[in-house]
């Protein structure tokens, strides 16, 4: 990253520009180039853009991106029937239609989005995945699956969580997938930490820099220790990836699927569940019930220590992810401080999640 001196509050010009951006929805680090973001303009339209390390902003036209050849305003009303719901500048966009979800990526990047082998372990377990309706080198059209996400359903989604607990063990088996090791997961955590640090977004996280660095180093060292035998894993499993329609549970975004320790998915899912509770999206009773379901799954599928380590890695990574987003002031500092306290003793951290303990 370019050597840009931080301001007195620790922020950089890129983050200062981001925080002054009207209609900001979310943002991501963009390698060593600065940031990319999504926002809503005055007309309520989704707009993507970039902010370089000097704080210079580029706002893309609505539903246009030179890096995404199949993204066009023609997909949206009045010409089309789609609604732009995701646009990460230069990387991907998602258009939600009446009967399909259209994913748009850079040329040559669509093959993995439509690889049928990635769905095999989850279909085998009884989960539903989206069928491919059409494709090109830079576009995949997937069927529109029924239901709402467990993220959006909140307490009403408890039966979907119960169904997940019934089905998930059937997916956790060996499969011909790319391997993702504990060392690989440590690299992911270090990358998020480094980018958050370089861009100066750690001030809202509310933790002493040395404590944060020590926790990241400790968790990464534990991740790199020898782990369990790998099995089919989603690798980005959270409540937003699961759709429930009252009878069928569907799984989204299979392009991250890999051969990994079973603790990765369960630890990530548990961390997102606890985050949802911290954000007020789950009541205490529902959170306790789902926590018990995950405790039972963990006992059956993963080593407790590895589960605790992956859980802590996900918790800390989520602090960095949300440091780039607005609306986190009410919970982010407390969440991060608690994560750092838990990081010193993984097994105690995992045991502390159990309701009543």
CA distance 99 to 84: 14
Out of 78-82, 98-102, 159-163, pick the least confident. 78-82
Confidence of residue 114 (pLDDT cuts 50, 70, 90): confident
> Is the predicted pLDDT of residue 288 greater than 80, yes or no?
yes
With the C-alpha atoms ordered 37, 328, 290, 248, is the resulting torsion angle positive or negative? negative
Compute the average pLDDT of residues 323-346: 90
**What is the C-alpha R_g of the chain?**
20
pLDDT at 2: 45
Place of tokens 């602090």: 319
CA distance 237 to 165: 13
CA distance 287 to 90: 37
> Is the predicted pLDDT of residue 107 greater than 50, yes or no?
yes
DSSP β-bridge partners for residue 232: 259
Torsion of CA 142, 146, 152, 154, to 10 degrees: -140
Compute the average pLDDT of residues 241-258: 97
Under DSSP, the state recorded for 225 is: S
> Is the predicted pLDDT of residue 154 greater than 80, yes or no?
yes
The domains of the chain, with CATH numbers, are 1-59 (no CATH), 62-144 (3.30.200), 146-357 (3.90.1200.10)
CB 269 within 8 A of CB 298: no
Confidence of residue 206 (pLDDT cuts 50, 70, 90): low
CB 47 within 8 A of CB 41: yes
pLDDT at 357: 43
Place of tokens 């982010």: 332
Nearest-5° angle of CA 38, CA 43, CA 46? 20
Confidence of residue 9 (pLDDT cuts 50, 70, 90): low
Confidence of residue 79 (pLDDT cuts 50, 70, 90): confident
> Is the predicted pLDDT of residue 164 greater than 70, yes or no?
yes
pLDDT at 229: 96
3-state secondary structure of 139: strand
pLDDT at 209: 85
- The mean pLDDT of the chain is 92
pLDDT at 327: 87
> Is the predicted pLDDT of residue 4 greater than 60, yes or no?
no
pLDDT at 11: 65
Nearest to 164 by CA among 265, 281, 308, 284: 265
3-state secondary structure of 134: strand
> Is the predicted pLDDT of residue 207 greater than 90, yes or no?
no
Nearest to 328 by CA among 294, 280, 287, 288: 280
CB 238 within 8 A of CB 268: yes
Q: Which tokens is 233 given?
A: 């894993």
Nearest to 297 by CA among 161, 154, 118, 152: 161
pLDDT at 1: 45
> Is the predicted pLDDT of residue 101 greater than 70, yes or no?
yes
pLDDT digits (tens, 9 = 90+) for 251-270: 999 999 999 999 999 999 99
pLDDT at 14: 93
Whole-prediction pTM: 0.93
Query: Could you count the other beta carbons within 10 Å of the beta carbon of residue 103?
Result: 24
pLDDT digits (tens, 9 = 90+) for 10-34: 568 999 999 999 999 999 999 889 9
Compute the average pLDDT of residues 220-236: 97
């Amino acid at each position: 990253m370019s050597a840009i001196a931080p301001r007195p509050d620790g922020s950089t010009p890129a983050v200062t520009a981001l925080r002054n951006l009207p209609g900001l929805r979310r943002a991501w680090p963009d390698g060593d180039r600065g940031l990319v973001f999504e926002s809503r303009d005055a007309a309520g339209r989704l707009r993507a853009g970039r902010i370089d390390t000097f704080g210079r902003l580029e706002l893309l036209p609505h539903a246009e991106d030179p890096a995404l050849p199949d993204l066009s305003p023609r997909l949206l009303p009045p010409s089309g029937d789609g609604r732009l719901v995701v646009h990460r500048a230069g990387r991907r966009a998602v258009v939600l239609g009446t009967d399909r979800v259209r994913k748009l990526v850079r040329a040559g990047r669509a093959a993995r989005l439509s690889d049928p082998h990635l769905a095999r372990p989850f279909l085998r377990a009884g989960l539903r995945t989206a069928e491919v309706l059409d494709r090109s080198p830079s576009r995949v059209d997937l069927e529109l699956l029924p239901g709402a996400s467990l993220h959006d359903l909140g307490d009403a989604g408890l039966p979907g969580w119960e169904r997940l607990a019934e089905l998930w063990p059937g997916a956790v088996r060996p499969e011909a997938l790319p391997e993702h090791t504990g060392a690989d997961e440590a690299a992911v955590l270090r990358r998020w930490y480094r980018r958050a640090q370089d861009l100066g977004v750690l001030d809202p996280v509310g933790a002493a820099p040395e404590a944060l660095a020590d926790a990241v180093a400790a968790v990464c060292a534990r991740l790199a220790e020898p782990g369990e035998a790998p099995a089919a894993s989603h690798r980005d499993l959270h409540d937003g990836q699961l759709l429930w329609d009252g009878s069928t549970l569907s799984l989204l975004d299979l392009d991250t699927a890999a051969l990994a320790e079973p603790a990765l998915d369960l630890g990530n899912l548990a961390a997102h569940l606890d985050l949802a509770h911290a954000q007020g999206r789950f009541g205490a009773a529902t959170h306790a019930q789902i926590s018990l379901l995950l405790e039972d799954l963990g006992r059956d599928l993963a080593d407790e220590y590895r589960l605790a380590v992956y859980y802590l890695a996900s918790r800390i990574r989520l602090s960095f992810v949300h440091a780039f987003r607005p609306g986190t002031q009410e919970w982010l500092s407390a969440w991060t401080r608690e994560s750092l306290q838990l990081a010193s003793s993984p097994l105690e951290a995992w045991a502390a999640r159990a309701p009543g303990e």
